[in-house]
Structure 1
Amino acid sequence: MNPRTAIDDAYWAMLAAAHLPGEQYTEPVGDPGLFGPGSPIWYVHGDVSGVLGGVSGLLLGALNEPVTHGTNQHSNYLQDPIKRLGFTSSFVMGVTYGSTPVAEKLTGTIRAMHKRVHGTMPDGRPYSATSSDDIIWTGVTQAYSAARAHVRYHPKPLGGSDLDQYFAEYAVISEKLGATGVPKSRADVEDYFAMMRPRLTVSEETLEVIKFLRGPVGGDAATRISSKVLSRVATDLLPDFAKNLLGFRPRLPTTPLAARAAGHVFTRTLRYGVVWRPIKEAHDRVGTPYTPV
């Protein structure tokens, strides 16, 4: 089999584990969706560096204990992480590149799912996936991590006001899910993290989730090795305050360099092989040329 075909088949087979109902990129013709071609969010999410950012965002998100506890109580991702990855990818890609009706349908589906996720932690703290605070945390940690991976691993990364616009556009997704007061720039995000740091904790439950996310996933040796490398690269993307909370210290001065070298190899390999069909279909829908990274 052609190496490119093998990489493409393996990538999409992994993400085909689950899709949200209504995800499609071809109709209605001419509808640019919530953002459209030329938007920073189309540019950032159109590169494989987003895979690294997605995993790093899950690690960072685990530091908010009520959100983590709620996820654990109402999700089976520990039993089927690939399926959870498929659903997450389906939502982010669909809302980013889908038409306006598709984006509305997908956000409506997630809002309905969120209504079932609520309860009380053992220490009495409440959690609710419909809470604006919890939606903001999940959205900001994902957007921040995607942007961080983009800046580090994209061959032509955005900067300055374009990155601020990316955060403003990602905030639209959180607002569609019911959040208010969402951070909308790099400065807003830094202020938000400064406000959140005293609330972040590392409990036994948090450590279990982190251990799981950093462990090997998959049924075959190649997938398990790849997932292990991916998790180490994603860990390196974490901000310093998260690494300090989790006690992650480089074993050697060269450890971060090794992780970043692996990140570059990973993203270049996927760029070589993966054909971004949903993004091409979205460009075709609005009649604009699609140029892969």
Structure 2
Amino acid sequence: MLVSRLLDLGDLAMMGNLKRGIALTWAKALNADKLPGEQYTGPAGDPGLFGPKSVMWYVHDDPSGVVGGVMGLILGSLHEPTMHGTNKHSVYKDDPLGRLGRTVSFVNTMCWASTPVAEKMVQTVRRMHKHVHGTMPDGRTYDASSSEDLTWTGVTQAYGIIQAHLRYHPRPVSKADVDRYYAEYAVITEMLGATDVPKTAADVEAYFAEMRPQLTFSEETADVVRFFTGPIGKTATARAGSKLLNKAAFDLLPPWAKKLYRLPDNPIDQMITRRSLRVLLQLLRDSVGESPIKTQAVERATARPEVLSQTG
């Protein structure tokens, strides 16, 4: 693999190109498309739904979260009705990177934006969901506004992000904070209209055990595999970096999902992928720096609220 060779050899000249190429690919993936209303300033003093001391802010303040987000999309694709609805009512097949960008846009807004902005974003997405419903050729129904579909999408995203955090963050959260993370992420899913969302790691494991008989590898799931196993970007370093990120996302899947995807069990390849991604993520932390989103959110949350004086 090109990336692992570069990292092992430590070629300084190529390392600079690698960082620039991967940073560009990273930015393109995160900004492929944005939902209307995404912004992180004002009102002053508003901490948003979670705030600076939340597990949500800590976990999402790291590039490992995007690897987890991709894993969440891959895992979520095993639920055929949800995947069918996505393909039927969106341009996902033609623009999968755009869908990834919109997912990132939504999660970022709910995590970092002020409370009124997050609430408005929820209403925007709920209006979009109202149009996504129907019946599959085999008679099964799908409905993006149903509690069942919302819970599946929300739980797979939360699971992917926290699993990536636990594996790749240099200072991962405690077991108790993992439960706090699931509880915080459940707030987002419930705001979209879901009920009885799992709120602890044990609840999530029980939920997956209940869902597993409904999960399949379908033709539409295969489209997801084809996209996420291919390179993204025009340069060799960007393409190699994106391929590593996507490979790591598949490697992050739980064992039962890997079986459904028929992924080979190759410990040596697994070790190389994980080692290379750890180095790659650290390169991103060092080269990309602090997110402008976090900077704006912290400034907003810690600012003194404006007080309107009343006279007369």
TM-score band (shorter)?
Answer: over 0.9
CA distance in 2, matches of 1:13, 1:66: 29
Matched, 1:266 2:269: no
Q: Secondary structure at the match of 2:134?
A: strand
Q: Secondary structure at the match of 2:50?
A: coil
Distance 1:276 1:128, change over 3 A: same
Count of equivalent residues: 287
* 2:73 maps to which of 58, 65, 77: 58
Q: Is the 8 A contact 1:132 1:180 kept in 2?
A: yes
CA distance in 1, matches of 2:127, 2:181: 26
- Residue 2 of structure 1: how far off its partner (Å): 9.8
- Residue 7 of structure 1: how far off its partner (Å): 5.9
Q: Is the 8 A contact 2:22 2:238 kept in 1?
A: no
* 2:122 maps to which of 107, 114, 123: 107
- Residue 8 of structure 1: how far off its partner (Å): 5.0
Query: Equivalences for 1:68-147 in 2 at 5 Å?
Result: 68-147=83-162
CA distance in 2, matches of 1:7, 1:253: 26
CA distance in 2, matches of 1:26, 1:3: 33
Distance 1:13 1:269, change over 3 A: same
After superposition, the C-alpha distances for 1:54-110 in whole angstroms (9 at most, x for unaligned) are: 111111111101001111111212222222222111110111010001100111111
Amino acid at match of 1:68: M
Distance 1:9 1:222, change over 3 A: closer
Matched, 1:212 2:215: no
Q: Is the 8 A contact 1:27 1:99 kept in 2?
A: yes
Q: Is the 8 A contact 2:71 2:250 kept in 1?
A: yes
Distance 1:200 1:13, change over 3 A: closer
Task: List alignment gaps of at least 5 residues for structure 2.
Answer: 1-15, 304-312
Distance 1:122 1:255, change over 3 A: same
- Residue 13 of structure 1: how far off its partner (Å): 4.2
CA distance in 2, matches of 1:235, 1:51: 13
Amino acid at match of 1:129: A
After superposition, the C-alpha distances for 1:203-254 in whole angstroms (9 at most, x for unaligned) are: 222223222222223344433322211111111100000011111122x331
Residue aligning to 1:200: 215
Residue aligning to 1:16: 31
CA distance in 2, matches of 1:130, 1:106: 15
- Residue 5 of structure 1: how far off its partner (Å): 7.2
- Residue 263 of structure 1: how far off its partner (Å): 1.7
CA distance in 2, matches of 1:235, 1:180: 29
CA distance in 1, matches of 2:238, 2:217: 29
Distance 1:131 1:59, change over 3 A: same
- State the TM-score, normalized to the length of structure 1: 0.92
Distance 1:158 1:255, change over 3 A: same
Amino acid at match of 1:47: D
Residue aligning to 2:184: 169
CA distance in 1, matches of 2:20, 2:240: 20
Distance 1:203 1:6, change over 3 A: closer
Amino acid at match of 1:145: G
After superposition, the C-alpha distances for 1:242-271 in whole angstroms (9 at most, x for unaligned) are: 011111122x33111111112202211111
CA distance in 1, matches of 2:21, 2:255: 37
Residue aligning to 2:267: 253
Residue aligning to 1:291: none
- State the TM-score, normalized to the length of structure 2: 0.87
Q: Secondary structure at the match of 1:51?
A: helix
Amino acid at match of 2:45: G
Larger Rg: 2
Q: Is the 8 A contact 2:74 2:250 kept in 1?
A: yes
- Residue 10 of structure 1: how far off its partner (Å): 5.1
Report the identity percentage. 54
- Residue 166 of structure 1: how far off its partner (Å): 0.3
Q: Secondary structure at the match of 2:217?
A: coil
Amino acid at match of 1:160: K
Residue aligning to 2:294: 279
Q: Is the 8 A contact 2:33 2:102 kept in 1?
A: yes
Amino acid at match of 2:250: T
